[in-house]
Amino acid sequence: MAVKGVSLSVKQGQIITLIGANGSGKSTLLESVCGLLPDWKGEITFQGTPLKGLDPPAVVRQGISLVPEGRLVFAPISVLDNLKLGAYTMYRKRRHAEVSQTLEKILDLFPILRQRAKQPAGTLSGGEQQMLAIGRALMSHPKLLLLDEPSMGLAPLIVEKIFHTLEMLRNDGITILLVEQNAQAALQIADFGYVFETGNVVLQGPATELLADQEVKRAYLGKDYGEFYDDNR
């Protein structure tokens, strides 16, 4: 059983992070929220609406979008078409003008995607693909953005850019649930954090307190704690 007895909440307008080692149940929790793992016991609600039994498109219509682990862009098709696929629920409602406006906002947020718009998504660098995956998720106008290991395989400078973008999105009113093995980076930008071990929440609290917690430092932050972000950036 990947996750058992977990209870947590995500407050509107905040970045909440789940940190922990591989296999601790973080991704399983996100997939359960999104309807990708339909067979689970318990209760998940979003703004008072139960999510149990909803398939992924219905969850997206509720206002939840996932940026999956490994990015999972559609490699053969263009960057532009990848972004448009993120708005499939909007197209079904014939909200074409709104999709066009949102697309422009995404291309302004990630200018490199505008430059690469006609390229196959598979030709992008890892960092560019991560930007594309985030942009694709934002195309559905989510109230809650779920991100699964967005820093995976990326250079530190690219990670810093991605996490700075997440701060901007939070400041624009998007609530974020962030799963990350890079505990240091995640806690630097989060408002609140949960520590997962073998399917359980073993520690929780404001991110600033977790950053100062000696056990968290020992287990997750390592000797280079505090060096990820330059406070004067």
Radius of gyration over every alpha carbon of the chain, rounded to an integer in angstroms: 17
Q: What is the pLDDT of residues 189-232, one digit of tens each?
A: 999 999 988 888 888 999 999 998 888 887 776 544 444 444 44
Q: Report pLDDT for 225.
A: 41
Domains of the chain: 1-63+142-233 (3.40.50.300), 74-141 (no CATH)
Q: What is the pLDDT of residues 3-28, one digit of tens each?
A: 888 889 999 999 999 998 777 888 88
Q: What is the pLDDT of residues 73-120, one digit of tens each?
A: 999 999 999 999 999 887 666 677 888 899 999 999 999 999 999 999
Q: What is the pLDDT of residues 147-188, one digit of tens each?
A: 999 999 899 999 999 999 999 999 999 999 999 988 889 999
191-217 exposure pattern, b = at least 16 Cβ within 10 A, e = fewer: bbbbbbeebebebbeebeebbebeebb
**What is the C-alpha to C-alpha distance for residues 158 and 49, in angstroms, rounded to an integer?**
36
